[in-house]
C-alpha cells in the first residue's frame, strides 16, 4: 500500500498557532483531499482565472425550490466536478437530507485511491 505524500494549503486558509506562528497551515493526506473537494464544490464554474472549467455548477441550482429536482441537479453537479477535478478519489455514495426548506445537507463518501481508505464529508447548502 502506497502512502499519500501530497502537501498543500487548505481552504479556507488557516494560520499556524505553533512555530512558526502566523505561517500558513500545510495539510497532507486525507485532510488535503477533503479541503480540495470542498474547494471544488464551493467554487462557481468558470470563475477561477487560468483554470478553465474549474469548480461546480451547484450555485446555479441553489435558487431553485428545495425538492427532488434540486437534489438530482446537485448530485449531477457534484459527480461531474469531483470526477473531473479530484481524480485521487472514487465517489462511493452521495446522500441528501432536507431538515427544512432552506437547507440541503449532502453527505459524500469517497475512497482515497492511493491509500485505499474510505472517507466522508458533509456539506450544507442554503437554498431559496
What domains, with CATH codes, occur in the chain?
7-126 (3.10.450.40)
The CA radius of gyration of the chain, in Å to the nearest whole number, is 16
Half-sphere exposure of 15 (CA within 13 A, CB side): 3
Q: Which residues of the chain have pLDDT under 50?
A: 1
Distance between CA atoms of residues 49 and 51, nearest Å: 6
Q: How would you label 10-27 residue by residue, b for 16+ Cβ within 10 Å and e otherwise? A: beeeeeeeeeeeeeeeeb
Q: In this predicted structure, what is the pLDDT of residue 3?
A: 58
What is the number of residues in the chain?
128
Amino acid at each position: 500500500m502506497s502512502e499519500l505524500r501530497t502537501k498543500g494549503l487548505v481552504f479556507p486558509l488557516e494560520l499556524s498557532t505553533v512555530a512558526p506562528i502566523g505561517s500558513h497551515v500545510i495539510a497532507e493526506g486525507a485532510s488535503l483531499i477533503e479541503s480540495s473537494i470542498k474547494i471544488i464544490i464551493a467554487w462557481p464554474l468558470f470563475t477561477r482565472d487560468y483554470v478553465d472549467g474549474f469548480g461546480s455548477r451547484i450555485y446555479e441550482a441553489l435558487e431553485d425550490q428545495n425538492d427532488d429536482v434540486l437534489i438530482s441537479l446537485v448530485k449531477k453537479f457534484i459527480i461531474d466536478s469531483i470526477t473531473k477535478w479530484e481524480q485521487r478519489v472514487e465517489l462511493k455514495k452521495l446522500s441528501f437530507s432536507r431538515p427544512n426548506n432552506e437547507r440541503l445537507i449532502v453527505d459524500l463518501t469517497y475512497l482515497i485511491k492511493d491509500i485505499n481508505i474510505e472517507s466522508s464529508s458533509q456539506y450544507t447548502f442554503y437554498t431559496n
